[in-house]
């Protein structure tokens, strides 16, 4: 076992920021599988999901030093991943097909695009990284509070408390 494999994500990300390729390989091995699963829930096009995942880890490599150390590395990676998927969805050419061949963009894809650019996106952007990570995990990913706690490395009760605070702030921001 390589000594890096025992390192927590935050330490690995610091090593990535210093150009350590082995640290990036470990971050990828830890996080790519769940990222693929969650992005696949948002988009049925496996090619787009694969491109978004690859772009995510290129961005992790290039911007690791930009991570502010607040919140979980997994939540930071998820934020990059969903934005990369949205970028790919926006770039998808609009092709007019005969009615029997038309592909309909899923309701989830439409909602995600609306979140990125609508009033909700602005309100979400004003949340602290900790609150935003809980909202992303529970609302956008559809995880239970227990699953979100495990992903974010916090107790279930903390997930619930942060979600209550986030809801209150979102209501205030959208009023």
pLDDT in tens, 103-150: 455 555 555 555 555 667 777 778 888 888 888 888 877 778 887 887
Q: Fold for 1-97, please state it.
A: Rna Polymerase Sigma Factor; Chain: A (1.10.1740)
Could you tell me if 86 and 49 are in contact, meaning their C-beta atoms sit under 8 angstroms apart? no
Report pLDDT for 30: 93
- The whole-number mean pLDDT for each consecutive block of 10 residues of the chain, a chain of 175 residues, reads 80 93 94 90 85 95 87 86 82 55 51 59 80 82 78 86 91 80
Q: Fold for 118-175, please state it.
A: Arc Repressor Mutant, subunit A (1.10.10)
Q: How far apart are the C-alpha atoms of 1 and 10, rounded to whole Å? A: 19
Report pLDDT for 101: 47
Q: How far apart are the C-alpha atoms of 102 and 124, rounded to whole Å? A: 33
DSSP code of residue 4: G
Q: What is the distance, to the nearest Å, from the Cα of residue 1 to the centroid of all Cα atoms in its chain?
A: 29
Which residues fall within 8 angstroms of residue 151, CB to CB, at 6 or more apart? 34, 72, 74, 75, 137, 143
* Total Cβ atoms within 10 A of residue 66: 10
Q: What is the pTM of this model?
A: 0.58
SS3 30: helix
Could you tell me if 160 and 135 are in contact, meaning their C-beta atoms sit under 8 angstroms apart? no
The strand ranges marked E within the chain are none
Report pLDDT for 25: 95
Handedness of CA 71, 73, 78, 83 (dihedral sign): positive
Report pLDDT for 58: 96
Tokens standing for 142? 């559809």
Residue ranges of domains in the chain: 1-97, 118-175
Report pLDDT for 98: 52
Could you tell me if 73 and 134 are in contact, meaning their C-beta atoms sit under 8 angstroms apart? no
């Amino acid at each position: 076992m390589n000594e890096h494999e025992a390192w927590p994500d935050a330490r690995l990300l610091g090593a990535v920021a210093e150009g350590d390729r082995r640290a990036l390989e470990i971050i990828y091995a830890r996080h790519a599988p769940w990222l693929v699963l969650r992005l696949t829930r948002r988009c049925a096009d496996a090619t787009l999901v694969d491109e978004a995942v690859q772009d995510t880890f290129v961005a992790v490599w290039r911007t690791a030093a930009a991570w502010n150390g607040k919140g979980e590395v997994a939540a930071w990676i998820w934020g990059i991943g969903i934005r990369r998927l949205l970028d790919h969805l926006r770039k998808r050419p609009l092709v007019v097909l005969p009615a029997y061949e038309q592909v309909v963009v899923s309701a989830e894809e439409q909602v995600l695009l609306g979140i990125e650019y609508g009033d909700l996106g602005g309100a979400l952007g004003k949340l602290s990284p900790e609150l935003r990570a809980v909202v992303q995990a529970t609302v956008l990913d559809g995880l239970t509070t227990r699953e979100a706690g495990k992903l974010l490395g916090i107790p279930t009760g903390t997930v619930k408390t942060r979600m209550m605070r986030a809801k209150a702030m979102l209501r205030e921001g959208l009023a």
